[in-house]
Amino acid sequence: MLIALGLIAIVLSVFGGFVLSGGSLGPLYQPTEMLMIGGAAIGAFIAANNGKAIKATLGTVGRLRRSTRYDKALYLDVMALLYNLLSKARRESMRAIEKDIEEPWQSALFSEYPALLEDPMILTFVTDYLRLILSGQIQAFELDELMQHEIEEFEHEAHIPADALNKVADGLPAFGIVAAVMGVVKALSAVNVGPDLMGQMIAHALVGTFLGIYLAYGVVAPLASRIDRQVAEALKMLHCIRVTLLASLQGMPPMLAVEFGRKALHFSERPTALELEHHVRGTAVGALAAVGR
């Protein structure tokens, strides 16, 4: 929603201001220059990336329609889930949660948080590292190093689409200049036209420069920036889970472990200690009831 609002604001500001100043939108419609600029940008994108990067970029752009996913409510659910799992393990034994992490879709604890079951990144990260803790063969510093390595790899891979789009945004103004230069060459080559027609041809050629700059900084660069923001949100979620699990492995009780996780969040999304406690305690009662059924 915010992406659409931003792009609409850009269009209305640029083209609306042009019309209000007395300009006509007709001369701005130059399909051949759009073909040159857009085609060159797409060609450069394909030439600069491998199949994996192209697929990742197209898939990421397709998910941009969704608004911010990792808000305070989802963080509270993640910490409540971790609290319930760690409490069960502390109360009964780590083996007691083995079935929960092996078959999360069949688990009464996980079923309390359907949004988390629908997020493969969170689900895989939580279950994989709980499975390692369950093995009893890993120390806290080893687990932390492994988590950090996985998060770094995730960050590197997740930034590929944004990097690819930023490269396209960097090249679009240059492709716009190329289209404009070719238009000027065409205009100056028409020696038999009058000054009025020559002026129109040069004006049409200059539209290429405008289109290249507009597409670069008004469309592609904002999309790349939005992808960067989404990656940062995902990284913060992973660090929250990481800190919580490490605190638990080092002997912290479940409530204190999720408090460590809360401290890893940005202030804008961080619940207060009381909000976290009330939410965690409330969901714990529901989880116990679900297990009892």
Give the residue-averaged pLDDT of 142-169. Answer: 93
Region of poorest pLDDT, from 120-134, 185-199, 211-225, 267-281: 185-199
Measured CA angle at 176 (ends 61, 1), to 5 deg? 30
How far apart CA 187 and CA 198 sit, in angstroms, is 6
Q: Give me the pLDDT at residue 220, please.
A: 93
Q: Give me the pLDDT at residue 191, please.
A: 67
Give the residue-averaged pLDDT of 172-196. Answer: 86
Dihedral (Cα; 91, 92, 93, 97), 10-degree rounding: -100
Give the residue-averaged pLDDT of 213-233. Answer: 91
Nearest CA to 144 out of 57, 72, 248 is that of: 248
Region of poorest pLDDT, from 68-72, 157-161, 167-171, 183-187: 68-72
pLDDT at 167 over 60: yes
pLDDT at 130 over 70: yes
Q: Give me the pLDDT at residue 291, please.
A: 47
Region of poorest pLDDT, from 154-158, 173-177, 193-197, 213-217: 193-197
Give the residue-averaged pLDDT of 103-108. Answer: 90
Chain segment 238-292, per-residue pLDDT in tens: 999 999 999 999 989 999 999 999 999 988 889 998 999 888 877 654 454 444 4
Q: For a pLDDT cut of 90, what percent of the chain falls above it?
A: 47
Q: Give me the pLDDT at residue 135, please.
A: 85
Q: How far is CA 149 from CA 142, 228, 248, 285, in A?
A: 11, 19, 20, 36
Q: Give me the pLDDT at residue 46, please.
A: 93
Q: Give me the pLDDT at residue 284, please.
A: 56
Q: Give me the pLDDT at residue 67, please.
A: 44
- Residue 108 near residue 101, CB atoms below 8 Å: no
Nearest CA to 70 out of 259, 272, 234, 276 is that of: 234
Alpha-helical regions (H) of 49-119: 51-62, 72-91, 98-102, 108-111, 114-117
pLDDT band, residue 201 (cuts 50/70/90): confident
Model's pTM, two decimal places?
0.82
Q: Give me the pLDDT at residue 82, please.
A: 94
Average model confidence (pLDDT) across the chain: 87
